[in-house]
Amino acid sequence: MRASLIQIAVDDAESVVSRRSRVAALVRDQQDSDLVVLPELWPVGAFAYEQFETEAEPLDGPTYAELSKAARDARVWLHAGSIVEQAGDGRLYNTALVISPAGELAATYRKIHRFGFDEGEAVLMSAGDSLTVVELPEQTLGLATCYDLRFPELFRGLVDSGATTLVVSAGWPERRRSHWTLLNRARAVEQQTYVLACGTAGTHAGVQQAGHSLVVDPWGEILAEAGPGEQVLTVDLDPAKVAETREQFPVLKDRMLGIRPAAH
């Protein structure tokens, strides 16, 4: 399976409408890939909190409409990053969209762990409450978004649900880039899966982004890494690598479930 991660530069001066059009063109350029991945909240910017309400849209809104056509034109599976979803009950969610090569909405994932420590996203967005896996012809994707990366139990749940490739869509800040690299490699080693970690470049409301999107193999080795600017990272993944790794080093079989907390 060939995967392309599009590390989009988010410039505060660029309009959402212009960025949608530009990103759709980048997706159309990936016709040699099977899967294309975009970052978190790239239409508005992950730290542009003041724009969340004004730029919120339903699942079938303008971002889906634009990228559905692009996925269909390129004949790719598209993890379209995430949008600020305006739900029917008025709540906002940080919601990832997966679009099929036919342009259909195949799956969604509402981000469970919201960042902000009682500010920003943590206050403005509601939390998702369920895991999402997506069956592709050669891989099963498990979806996570940015701050989720710090919660390993979520990823173990995705593996228990059958995930063989973990997709992490993010708007990760430069000042914590060392954590970005470390945590993505750790999740790959723990779960013995591929990790496709796609972040943004540029700035979100003045917050410098880390860039450095990664593709990590089931042994935790970095197969490819982007630089700090806008870039397309393309890697061929071996679908058999996950099963081979788990057979050669069957650590998941030694899990001890149901351990009780220590008594006090």
Q: Please identify every residue annotated as catalytic.
A: 40, 111, 146
**What are the backbone angles phi and psi of residue 144, rounded to the nearest 5°?**
-145, 160
Asked whether 7 and 210 are in contact (CB, 8 A), the reply is no
Query: What's the 3-state SS for 78-105?
Result: EEEEEEEEECCCCCEEEEEEEECCCCCE
Residues contacting 171, CB < 8 A, separation 6+: 10, 39, 40, 41, 42, 45, 46, 47, 146, 199, 200, 204, 209
CA distances to 154, 160, 256, 263 from 259, rounded to whole Å, are: 18, 17, 7, 12
Q: Residue holding tokens 């490739």?
A: 165
DSSP H helices, the chain, are 16-28, 52-55, 62-74, 121-124, 152-160, 177-191, 241-248
CB 18 within 8 A of CB 46: no
Strands 77-86 and 92-99: antiparallel
Residue 123 neighbours by CB distance under 10 Å = 11
